[in-house]
Structure 1
Amino acid sequence: MLLNYLKIAWRTLRKQKGFTFINIFGLATGLACCMLIMLYVLDELSFDRYNEKADRIYRVQSDIKFGGNDMHFAVSPDPIGPTLKKDYPQVEQFARLHQEGTWSVKRTGEPTNLREDNITFADSTLFEVFTLPLVSGDSKRALAEPNSVVISESAAKRHFGNQNPMGKTLVFNDRRTFKVTGVMRDMPKNAHFQSNFFLSMLNDDYTWGQWLSNNHHTYILMKPGTDAQAFAKNFDTVIEKYVGPQALQFIGSSMDQFRKAGNSIGFWLIPLTDIHLHSKQQVELAPNGDIQYVYIFSAVALFILLIACINFMNLATARSANRAREVGVRKVMGSERQQLIGQFMTESVLTTILAMLLALFMVGLALPGFNSIAAKELSISQLASPYYVPLLILLPIVVGLLAGSYPALFLSSFQPITVLKGKVNVSFRSAGLRSGLVVFQFMMSVILIVGTIIVYRQITYIQSKSLGFNRDKMLTIYGVYSIGNQAESFRQEVLKLPGVVNGSISGYLPTPSNRSDNSFFAEGQSDMNKGVSMQSWAVDHNYVKTMGMKLVQGRDFSRNFGSDSSGIILNEAAVQVFGFKNPIGKRVWRYNDAQLKERKTFTVVGVVKNFHFESLRRNIGALSMFLDSNSGAASFRLSSNDLPALIKQIEAKWRQVAPGQAFSYQFMDDSFNQLYRAEQRIGTIALTFAVLAILIACLGLFGLAAFMAEQRTKEIGIRKVLGASIPNLIGLLSKDFLKLVLIAILIATPIAWYMMNQWLADFAYKIEIEWWMFALAGLLAIGIALATVSFQSIKAALMNPIKSLRSE
């Protein structure tokens, strides 16, 4: 019986080539979109799960409210890991990371440095907590000694070629030498942090034991069976026992007084596998994903698949009149309804299997472009894994049964006497289910269109918003510390080049860069609980001018004022938090050492207009700038129209003062845009799937238009005989669809408004959702619908009435 069903199904599909192609292509497109999104979502959900002990690893997070700032850090005090292991038997092990960013690295004896990212200091316990297999070396001893480094296989290849790197030395920043004591496999891409170089934490130049400073990413490995939520309650005890005494020394008050002043300190645990999608803390090791996008794309995948299934139903129903006589003859010949349902369901499943094969081909073609947009390294070979194969087998069967259920029940319900007399009448206008399906299709299409418009408007707003500094043609050169005392002479030489307007040397930039948070106090402040926590940047005399920042009070730093060595420039947010009405000349101080013994006092010489130095998701916080050397980077304001030629000239100056040092640069525009690369990717992906969803929905409309034209052929013929014009007929045939699209727009508008408001809530600076965005989405949907329907409407209106009425 099944073989007979398959033979008839295959013959039917071959006979109706146009119908079959549209059906298979629509389903294949929906399935391909679903598989692409499925690969993306499962990759996002897989982060850090490669760790064998992932279910027992947690990171300690810090929430601090002090000095007018509400701070949420992914870092915590350096002693918290060792203390938790010492005081609580539930903690099996801990490991700390202190990421240093980009350094110059070369093999000892080599003249040329390579720029290496994500240089990281790590405890020797790193390999006990994380699953980072070593191909060479002893994981327990690899980082136990000072001046030791564990490198990845790819880093070993870059620096040592085919030689064995074990025991050989690498020079970091031309001044620190480390011996290679281990080679590990390259870290998986689905890790929330990446590093090719782990240096011994014993070499971290840091004053240890600071409970009030948060600079280390601390991970703890719990013993099996430990309830992490219950364990986290111990942090209250840790704060009272260890943080409290240092706070008392620092601010001169107890933790109770500290809290009564409106301040707070708290620690909490986040599971390792939640970090990538759920952590929105400051000072992350790398940009994280967002669980919100996983939910959104999962819903999009489901809706696109449903739209494709709806199309199948509509297209199958559109052929109902043509197959009505077939059903009638089969019933007269003795076929039962169950057999007819089995036949139509077999056709549906066969169509879906063919669509799945085409979808796999589409996925293979689309993956390179999708990877480029989504910044992933997905492969079609992943679909052959044990997790995907059962899904790939079940998906076409489930989709086939789902998509074919309604047509099968619908077609098999025809009465043989009625259809054989040619009296079957399946009215389009009374088909509430099919109308509801069209409304659903275009509702989703309108939501996707609105979402795409708002995402792109927000990204455009971010990129064009005045940031309080000028990032246009601002070139940043990294690793200037490698040239030591020649940094200033390099700046002077570059300034001599035509097209270079100004230059400054500082590693603190108003884009993702170094940060240094300190607590400042107004002179004479007796209540230490009222300190101001703000970022403090070491800059040079040219910084404000080079960055194009605007002073609203006072003056810039000047070499004409020797007292500026103890001067400070505040931003407007800092002035507001301090409560200064006339800030110029006011004096503020901070502790200048980790032991909280030495104070340094600054005099306010200027106030700079607020500028954005973090993501626009955050409000502008308090910030200060003071004169000090920091040669992390050199920034130059350029005016040349031939930037590539000018960059070559700057590189030549670099080679003169830094032979063998890598020339690494980036335009500040590019650095700023990296903050929002995720949103740009999401916008592009959303636009792509919105277009595909609309394309699939249009196939469904095409099917319904064919169904409508087939059912109203005689009505159209009569109207033409009675004098109806072609435009009148086209309008008559199109108005039913227009009503459905308008209903879809009305339903989609509040849903889209709510969803996009939720998305925009993550941004402190955002666009307003305006009425024209919904109007534009609605007009696009109406235009697309009318364009789709018009082909069938015009074809039906142009039909010769003699042909449609001759049977009467």
Structure 2
Amino acid sequence: MIKNYLKTAWRNLVQNRSTSIISVAGLAVGICCFLLLATYLINELRYDRFHAKADRIVRMVFSYQSADDKEPRNTAMTQTAPLPLFKQQFSEIEGGVRIFGYDNERGAAVQYSNKLFSEKKMLLADDGFFDIFSFKFLSGSATKALSDPSSVVLSASTAKKYFGDEAPVGKVLKVNQKDLMVTGVIEDVPAYSQMKFDMIASSAISTRSKELRWDAANNYSYFLLKPEASYKAVEGKINAYFNNLFKSENNRGGKAWYTLEPLADVHLKSNFQGGLEPSGNIKYIYILGSVAVILLLLACVNFLNLVTARSAERAREIGVRKVMGARRGQLFFQFITEAGIITMFSIGLGLLLLKLCFPWFSNFTGQQLALIPGILHGWPVH
């Protein structure tokens, strides 16, 4: 019986080639567009959620407004002094780390043997960076990776570039004339991380990290809060302490304050400029999500319209089948089989179009997107 349904359905589709091709093509394009947009949206929504402690990590950002300013100035960068002081002052803070850029405009001159490269994606971080953030180590120890002032951790592709098949750990790289020992190799940083780096070294090699200053914002500060701590409560305590510390400055008409942002909200919900990478916008996610659903619905409606348009033509066929003894259930399954064949062809063609368009789409968005099954890697954490 099923074989007869399939045979009859295929015959009807072949006899109406134009309608069948339009149905398959329209639905396939809709599926392809929906999956492309869905891939991009998932990539945006899973930003920084792969860290095991993501729900307890917050970024501290800074706002200030002088007596002459009409609007506050917001910056993602903070001074070098507050993080060590606040970490010591408040028991709700389990740990903290400052991250410094390493002159990423010119890049760091890195030399090993006769190989010389300019590394644009190099960061400096305090010891404890890998205790807070979860980057998978392929070799070396996460707990001791940046404990030595002359240590550096490489991404897998960077280690391959310098050392080939040699074991990188223990090798020495000359970075801007400073000898740094490789203490670990991690997997390449995911595209859905706000911290994109090929090399990360101990901040102890920079004088900036040793000068605890309040008058220059040049680093990014992240706290790891204790499980029971509320980031809003900690934010309130920080600002009360800070305002008391600089009471005389506030009396002159100016004001400054800190804001704590949950790590998972930084990419899409932060309006602070100057972060490790440009922020997205959650409003665009809602808009693109709506567009993706609308495109798929339009493709489905187009398919239904074509089926409805053919119903009048097939009225005679249905009448003949009834006269020959066909029951309602048999007619239903016959039409469902035809719709199923069109749908399967459409899905197959849609996936083929997705594979062909994906490299172009990934390049267009400027992100390293991943197809299924990689699309769900690192999402969600909890």
TM, length-normalised to structure 2: 0.88
Q: CA deviation at 1:62?
A: 1.3
CA contact (8 A) 1:137 1:182 kept: yes
CA contact (8 A) 1:169 1:178 kept: yes
Q: CA deviation at 1:240?
A: 2.5
Q: CA deviation at 1:360?
A: 0.9
Runs of 5+ unmatched residues, structure 1 = 389-808
The structure-2 alpha-carbon separation of the partners of 1:350 and 1:104, relative to structure 1 and needing over 3 Å to count, comes to same
Residue 611 of structure 1: aligned partner = none
Question: Among residues 192, 196, 204, which one is paired with 2:198 in the alignment?
Answer: 196
Residue 184 of structure 1: aligned partner = 186
Residue 392 of structure 1: aligned partner = none
The alignment status of 1:95 with 2:97, answered yes or no, reads yes
Q: Distance in 1 between matches of 2:277 and 2:331?
A: 58
Question: Among residues 348, 365, 382, which one is paired with 2:356 in the alignment?
Answer: 365
The structure-2 alpha-carbon separation of the partners of 1:384 and 1:138, relative to structure 1 and needing over 3 Å to count, comes to closer
More helix by share: 1
Alignment of 1:457-476 (within 5 A): none
Residue 113 of structure 1: aligned partner = 116
Q: CA deviation at 1:219?
A: 0.9
Q: CA deviation at 1:171?
A: 2.2
**Local SS of the residue matching 1:151:** strand
The structure-2 alpha-carbon separation of the partners of 1:387 and 1:59, relative to structure 1 and needing over 3 Å to count, comes to closer
CA contact (8 A) 1:121 1:198 kept: yes
The structure-2 alpha-carbon separation of the partners of 1:34 and 1:238, relative to structure 1 and needing over 3 Å to count, comes to same
CA contact (8 A) 2:100 2:123 kept: yes
RMSD, aligned α-carbons: 2.7
Alignment of 1:554-633 (within 5 A): none
Residue 38 of structure 2: aligned partner = 38
**Local SS of the residue matching 1:124:** coil
CA contact (8 A) 1:363 1:380 kept: no
Residue 396 of structure 1: aligned partner = none
How many residues end up aligned between the 2 structures?
374
Q: Distance in 2 between matches of 1:387 and 1:307?
A: 32
**Local SS of the residue matching 2:107:** strand
Q: CA deviation at 1:322?
A: 1.0
Question: Among residues 293, 297, 303, which one is paired with 2:284 in the alignment?
Answer: 293
CA contact (8 A) 2:110 2:119 kept: no
CA contact (8 A) 1:85 1:91 kept: yes
Residue 16 of structure 1: aligned partner = 16
Q: Distance in 1 between matches of 2:194 and 2:157?
A: 19
**Which has the higher relative contact order, 1 or 2, with Cα contacts under 8 A spaced 6 or more apart?**
2
Alignment of 1:198-217 (within 5 A): 198-206=200-208, 208-217=211-220
CA contact (8 A) 1:107 1:160 kept: no
CA contact (8 A) 1:27 1:355 kept: yes
* 2:266 counterpart letter in structure 1: I
CA contact (8 A) 1:103 1:173 kept: no
Q: Distance in 1 between matches of 2:149 and 2:202?
A: 6
CA contact (8 A) 1:136 1:184 kept: yes
Residue 464 of structure 1: aligned partner = none
Q: CA deviation at 1:337?
A: 5.0
Q: Distance in 1 between matches of 2:31 and 2:368?
A: 20
CA contact (8 A) 2:50 2:378 kept: no
Q: Distance in 1 between matches of 2:222 and 2:375?
A: 34
> Residues 246-267 of structure 1, C-alpha deviation per residue, up to 9 Å, x if partnerless?
xx3xxxx4x3x24xx2x32121
Residue 143 of structure 1: aligned partner = 146
Residue 153 of structure 1: aligned partner = 156
> Residues 197-231 of structure 1, C-alpha deviation per residue, up to 9 Å, x if partnerless?
22212222126332343222111112224332333
* 1:182 counterpart letter in structure 2: G
Larger Rg: 1
**Local SS of the residue matching 1:105:** strand
Q: CA deviation at 1:386?
A: 9.2
Alignment of 1:222-621 (within 5 A): 222-242=225-245, 244=246, 248=248, 253=249, 255=250, 257-258=251-252, 261=253, 263-333=254-324, 340-382=331-373
**Local SS of the residue matching 2:95:** strand
CA contact (8 A) 2:168 2:182 kept: yes
Q: Distance in 2 between matches of 1:367 and 1:299?
A: 20
**Local SS of the residue matching 1:120:** strand
Q: Distance in 1 between matches of 2:171 and 2:31?
A: 52
CA contact (8 A) 2:42 2:375 kept: no
Q: Distance in 1 between matches of 2:377 and 2:125?
A: 35
**Local SS of the residue matching 2:195:** coil
Runs of 5+ unmatched residues, structure 2 = none
The structure-2 alpha-carbon separation of the partners of 1:74 and 1:23, relative to structure 1 and needing over 3 Å to count, comes to same
The structure-2 alpha-carbon separation of the partners of 1:289 and 1:124, relative to structure 1 and needing over 3 Å to count, comes to same
Q: Distance in 1 between matches of 2:340 and 2:237?
A: 57
Q: CA deviation at 1:295?
A: 2.2
The structure-2 alpha-carbon separation of the partners of 1:283 and 1:336, relative to structure 1 and needing over 3 Å to count, comes to same
Q: Distance in 2 between matches of 1:287 and 1:146?
A: 30
Q: CA deviation at 1:124?
A: 0.8
CA contact (8 A) 1:85 1:94 kept: yes
Q: CA deviation at 1:126?
A: 0.2
CA contact (8 A) 1:106 1:159 kept: no
**Local SS of the residue matching 2:338:** helix
CA contact (8 A) 2:139 2:186 kept: yes
The structure-2 alpha-carbon separation of the partners of 1:384 and 1:91, relative to structure 1 and needing over 3 Å to count, comes to closer
Q: Distance in 2 between matches of 1:108 and 1:321?
A: 76
CA contact (8 A) 2:108 2:122 kept: no
Alignment of 1:758-769 (within 5 A): none
